[in-house]
Amino acid sequence: MHTVVVGTSGTTASDVLAVARGGARVELSEEAVAALAAAREIVDALAAKPDPVYGVSTGFGALATRHISPELRAQLQRNIVRSHAAGMGPAVEREVVRALMFLRLKTVCSGHTGVRPEVAQTMADLLNAGITPVVHEYGSLGCSGDLAPLSHCALALMGEGDAEGPDGVVRPAAELLAAHGIQPVELREKEGLALLNGTDGMLGMLVMALADLDTLYRSADVTAALSLEALLGTDKVLAPELHAIRPHPGQTASAANMLAVLKGSGLTGHHQDDAPRVQDAYSVRCAPQVAGAGRDTMAHARLVADRELASAVDNPVVLPDGRVESNGNFHGAPVAYVLDFLAIAAADLGSIAERRTDRLLDKNRSHGLPPFLADDAGVDSGLMIAQYTQAALVSELKRLAVPASADSIPSSAMQEDHVSMGWSAARKLRTAVDNLTRVIAIEFYAAARAVELREGLTPAPATRAAIDAAREAGVEGAGPDRFLAPDLAAADAFVRDGRLLAAVEKVTGPLQ
């Protein structure tokens, strides 16, 4: 099994994906263990002094004015975890929790948190045992970190609360730890706070969304090309020299992908045949501009994610010179903004895909295709309601594009009076990515049927390969009306698991 070694200098997106989705094992580097021990010595020295230090010998948030005596400090750390584990609603996905735990471990191992090595090792042990704390949908405001989600994870380290075992069954955390020979941790000064103060949940979801969108945007270039073929459009608008004079990198890449997919097509260039038209509609002609803008948005979001992956987010932090200082690095604004930005781009990509689908189904705009791509229009409804489903998904994408980060609601007796709502931005982006996959799948389903109905014209080798692979995968083609939901589900799976892209890239080589 793949092993990810956690050091002191952050981590990578590929490591997050390996742990969250691939079940990779986690090990602490010798450098990380040494840094943990050194930072802990500083915290222990401060704890022994009479002067109050936030997070070490004081209360938290609006209660930070109280100095806590040594005999109550262990109780203080337990209590912050118990009281902050206040999430509600359904449990979030296993991969989200694993990303959350791994990224908190990444910060702990930086040597800036003051957590003991044995606590960090226990965090790694839970990941390696496949023990996943139950984390709820609601509870994080994305400031002071993802407090409630991280608290539920810390609670499991203490042997409290509920967790899901490697078999998928939810049990008391104490039972799962005992079954895997893991000793619950007894938290000491600062450790409870250090386990809660991070942007780890929203960052983990950002990393996974970027991975999913990378596949989806390339898939969308394929479906746009397929729709262009089905509508007998022109590929002249994809010429590199046209995109060179507006040099947005994403646009250039998207146009190049579409051109590669359409290479050798016998369907393009017929826009001057029976019903001459000067140019294709915007949804066809401007596909690279819209998808390209989304790609450039992803590039910016990836830059933010990489910076955050290299960060140590905690409050207070242990500095190399021995100071323990309060800070505001836990504020989720940088991550929240790009999460919202990606949801906006996803909504627009879904919107333009739906417009192409609608054009394929309208006999007045499809340039010779049967109404709704029906076998016997009137007796058959064809894909009429498939477009309804797609339209409903696009409408939902537009609602999900409303930014969460533009909102703020004060908490902790006005001490935490401006919050990022980054967790909420991440949760709605996951839904947006899920729905965008379905939208792209419906465009593919319709465009593939439309291409097959263009009798006497030969599609490009790449699009032919995609259609053939889909048919082999159980995505049915044209014919009389039948129960449509299973067909759409099969198309969704074909796009979602990357088989559409794989089929095309066997012909074109890797798309950008």
Active site positions, annotated? 54
Cα–Cα distance, 434 to 482 (Å, whole number):
25
Distance CA 166, CA 164 (A): 7
C-alpha pair distances (Å), 425 with each of 146, 203, 209, 237, 500: 12, 11, 12, 36, 29
Backbone φ and ψ for 477, nearest 5 degrees, come out as -100, -155
How far from the centroid of its chain's Cα atoms is residue 399's Cα?
A: 18
Strand partners for 6: 28
Dihedral sign, CA of 500, 504, 506, 511?
A: negative
Q: How far apart are CA 303 and CA 3, in angstroms?
A: 25
Q: Write down the H helix ranges in 158-199.
A: 173-179, 191-194
- Residue 253 CA neighbour count, 13 Å, CB half: 18
Output the six-digit token pair for 218. Answer: 């390339």
By CB atoms closer than 10 A (0-12, 13-18, 19+), residue 8 is middle
Does residue 157 contact residue 129 with C-beta atoms inside 8 Å? no
169, β-bridge pairs: none
The residue type found at 1 is M
Please tell me whether the peptide bond between 316 and the residue prior to it is cis, using omega within 30 degrees of 0.
yes
Radius of gyration of the chain (CA): 26
Distances (CA, A) of 124 to 148, 194, 258, 474: 20, 16, 44, 41
Residue 223 has phi, psi (to 5 degrees) of -70, -35
| H helices present in 231-364, as ranges | 240-244, 249-262, 282-285, 287-309, 333-361
